[in-house]
Chains A and B, each alone.
Chain A
């Protein structure tokens, strides 16, 4: 089974702190994604990566950065946390495009971040 793990289920930080959210997948997937989930808005893509050291902005990248130094690990960084970044953060991974032109994304359990 594909397994995507996230370093913390719950995290509480203070405004202005630098925050690292870690995601690890064990299926040698090329693609990794970071989403935030907010009530009524569903999941919105923050950043994604198609390969090691590669990253691309998603729909809401402002206030975030990412790092992918190893294939299995994708980190989301909040340089200076703010209260409007209080949210659920979900990581996902997938392999490169299959014959059908799309491959399923597998999701981690999420990290609920509260910024005070």
Chain B
């Protein structure tokens, strides 16, 4: 069965500093990988996705993520955080073998200090 782990429950970062959110997945073949963001009181918005090809993917709002097969990781990064990036971030995995159902990690809540 596929699974996703986000080791960091909370991260606090200063505005303007860089951000990296960790995501590890468990799945035998190449999965489809996603990062979603949930701002307070909002639904989930897709930041970026990886299906195949270039392992460094660019998303919206200045985010990027790198797929590392050897480490089973798909970490999310942003070079310079803005106060509006304060939100909860979810990594998710899907696969054809699992009927294309999404499996989510537990989420990482990001707080941005002025």
A interface secondary structure, majority: loop
A62 at the interface (CB under 8 A from B): no
B46 at the interface (CB under 8 A from A): yes
Taking a contact as CB atoms under 8 Å apart, the answer to whether B90 and A107 are in contact is no
Taking a contact as CB atoms under 8 Å apart, the answer to whether A102 and B104 are in contact is no
B86 at the interface (CB under 8 A from A): no
Closest Cβ–Cβ distance, residue A65 to chain B (whole Å): 19
Taking a contact as CB atoms under 8 Å apart, the answer to whether A42 and B43 are in contact is no
Question: Interface-forming stretch among A43-51, A66-74, A78-86?
Answer: A43-51
The residues of A that contact B103 with a CB separation of less than 8 Å are 45
Interface residue tally for chain B (C-beta within 8 Å): 26
Closest Cβ–Cβ distance, residue B88 to chain A (whole Å): 9
Docked complex: A1-55 residues within 8 A CB-CB of B: 4, 33, 35, 39-45, 48
From known contacts A102-B51, A109-B41, A109-B43, infer whether A42 and B100 are also in contact, taking CB-CB under 8 Å.
no
The residues of B that contact A44 with a CB separation of less than 8 Å are 104
Q: Which residues of B contact A (CB under 8 A)?
A: 4, 6, 9, 32, 36, 41-46, 49, 51-52, 90, 92, 94, 96, 100-107
From known contacts A40-B9, A102-B32, infer whether A45 and B102 are also in contact, taking CB-CB under 8 Å.
yes
Closest Cβ–Cβ distance, residue B60 to chain A (whole Å): 12
Taking a contact as CB atoms under 8 Å apart, the answer to whether B43 and A108 are in contact is yes
The residues of B that contact A108 with a CB separation of less than 8 Å are 43
Taking a contact as CB atoms under 8 Å apart, the answer to whether B96 and A101 are in contact is yes
The 9 closest A-B pairs by CB, nearest first: A42-B104, A107-B43, A107-B44, A43-B104, A109-B43, A42-B106, A102-B32, A100-B51, A40-B106
Q: How far is the CA of A43 from the CA of B92 in the complex (A)?
A: 9
Out of B4, B49, B96, B106, name the residue touching A104 (CB < 8 Å).
Answer: B49
Sample of 17 more A-B contacts, CB < 8 Å, known A42-B6, A90-B43, A101-B32: A40-B106, A41-B106, A42-B90, A42-B104, A43-B44, A43-B104, A44-B104, A45-B103, A58-B101, A100-B52, A101-B96, A102-B32, A102-B51, A104-B49, A107-B36, A107-B44, A109-B41
